[in-house]
Structure formats: C-alpha cells, structure tokens
Amino acid sequence: MPTCSEAYGEGWVGTYPNCTYNPQGQTIRNMRINPDQYSKSVKDPFTGTVDSLGYGEELAGSTHEDDWQKFFDPYDPKEAEMLESAWDLKGKQLGETWGLKREELGAGAGAGYGQVREAGSKGYKKSGMAFSGTISEMERKKRGEVTGGYKRALGLGQTAYDQSMEAGKLQLESGIFGLEKDWEKDQRATLNMLLGSGIWPEDPTVSSTYWDERGEDEGTSATEAMENEARKSSCEARGGTWHQNRCDMSYHDE
C-alpha cells in the first residue's frame, strides 16, 4: 500500500487513503511570530486612554502634577476601524472565491467519474462481456486517478486559502499595532517637550504673580539665559503673559 506522499505527492501526510495536505514549514500558523509584534496581552491590554500612559509619575512635583492629562490626546480608533472594515471585506471575498473553487473542483471530479463510467460501458459492449476483470481494473484505476487529482487540488486550494486568511489576519494585527505604537510615540514626544518647558516650581520665596527680573544684560550667563527661557515657557504654560522678564498672572487670576 503506497504512502500518502507516494500516492499524491510531496506535502501529503497520513495513512492512505486517509490523506491530508500539510506541507511542513509552509503554513503561516507554523511560523514563529515575535510576541512583541502584538500590542494586546492578558496582563496589559491596550486601552488608548490618557491615563494608561502613566505619565503622572514622571510629572510628579511639576506645576502640572494634577492636570497633566490635558496636554495629551486619547487614541483615535478610526484608522484601526478602517483597517478592520477593509479586512472584513477582503476575508469575505476570499471565502466566496474559495467556495466557488470547491464547487468547480467537485464538478470536475464528478465529470471525471462520468467519463470513467462511460469508457467502462463502451469497453464492456465492445468486448461483448457483461463483466471483464481487465476493464473493471482499468475503471477502478481511472477512478482512483480522478479521486487523487481531486484531493490534491482540494488540498492545495485549502492550504492557499488558509494561508491567505492567516496572512491577512497577521497583516491586520500588525497594522493596528503600528497605529497604537505611533500614538504612544506622539504622546511621548509631547511629554518630552513638556518636561523641558519649565514646568518645575520656582523658589517658594518668589512671588507667584511676578518673577523678579534676573537681568539679561551683556553679563548674563548662558545658565541664567536658559533659566529665563524656562520661566517664560512655564509662565505661558500656566496662562500668564511674559513681559520684561516678568510673568504677569493678573489676568489669569481674575
């Protein structure tokens, strides 16, 4: 008795005649996927909320310790939803195409069996015998060839369909993961800009409404200039007006 690979070719496995097509190393499901590609996990699912960024710890002690969330944007799922809609349509089309192909293969096998029967009937009539072992054996062999061809084509088609579906799902997951990582990068860039914008409290002895001029004459050092720039950024971030090296919060306080 031949093996499945001997009967149907490379990639066929199992005990003849119960064979299935499963080429090793070919299907997407057998590929090694880096778990870092996926954004979702049981321990830390992606939510896309501002609070999920966890920046409160990094901004603790700053002037925006209690309201840091207002500088960041929640994740917008619209692009991900568009990707999902596109994949739903493509997956449906793949399924419909494979369904039609299966029907075509079945019809082809049926026609092949019909041709074998017809050839057998002609052989019996030509020989004038109601039964001929030779003709019967040839007919059995031809039916086996039709069956084998049908199974091979069906297996190849099923494998191609499964691979397309798995590849599409992987592409969708990768695309959504990329959108999520881009959002996280954008929020991190905002955080970095905020951290360098003078949001740390000044000396408590300095007035909360006005900062004394530190002097920016020719003798001003680079350090003092940087401090003045930080004060200006902090002033504007709090809604004040920077004027003549002072932060005027009078309008804000009203």
Residues 30-78 pLDDT 10s: 333 344 443 343 346 899 999 999 999 999 999 989 999 999 999 999 9
pLDDT of residue 74: 95
Report pLDDT digits (tens) over 209-232: 333 444 444 444 444 555 566 567
Percent of the chain exceeding pLDDT 90 equals: 39
Nearest Cα to Cα of residue 184 among 35, 34, 54? 54
Exposed e or buried b for every residue in 154-177, given b needs 16+ CB within 10 A?
bbebbbebeebbeebebebbebbb
Does residue 79 carry a pLDDT above 60? yes
Q: Share the mean pLDDT of the chain.
A: 75
Determine the Cα–Cα distance for residues 249 and 148; give it in Å rounded to an integer. 86
pLDDT of residue 175: 96
Does residue 174 carry a pLDDT above 80? yes
pLDDT of residue 203: 40
pLDDT of residue 11: 61
Does residue 4 carry a pLDDT above 70? no
Does residue 108 carry a pLDDT above 80? yes
pLDDT of residue 160: 94
pLDDT of residue 229: 65
Per-residue pLDDT band for 114 (boundaries 50, 70, 90) equals confident
174: left (phi over 0), alpha (psi -120 to 50) or beta: alpha
Which tokens is 83 given? Answer: 């990707």
Helical ranges in 36-132 per DSSP H: 78-127
Determine the Cα–Cα distance for residues 143 and 109; give it in Å rounded to an integer. 9
Q: Which of residues 244 and 48 earns the better pLDDT score?
A: 48
Does residue 189 carry a pLDDT above 50? yes
Which tokens is 168 given? Answer: 């599409």
Per-residue pLDDT band for 27 (boundaries 50, 70, 90) equals very low
Per-residue pLDDT band for 177 (boundaries 50, 70, 90) equals very high
Query: Residues, the chain, total?
Result: 254
List beta partners, residue 12: 21
**Mean pLDDT, residues 163-171:** 95
pLDDT of residue 124: 61
**Mean pLDDT, residues 182-204:** 84
pLDDT of residue 54: 93
**Mean pLDDT, residues 107-131:** 74
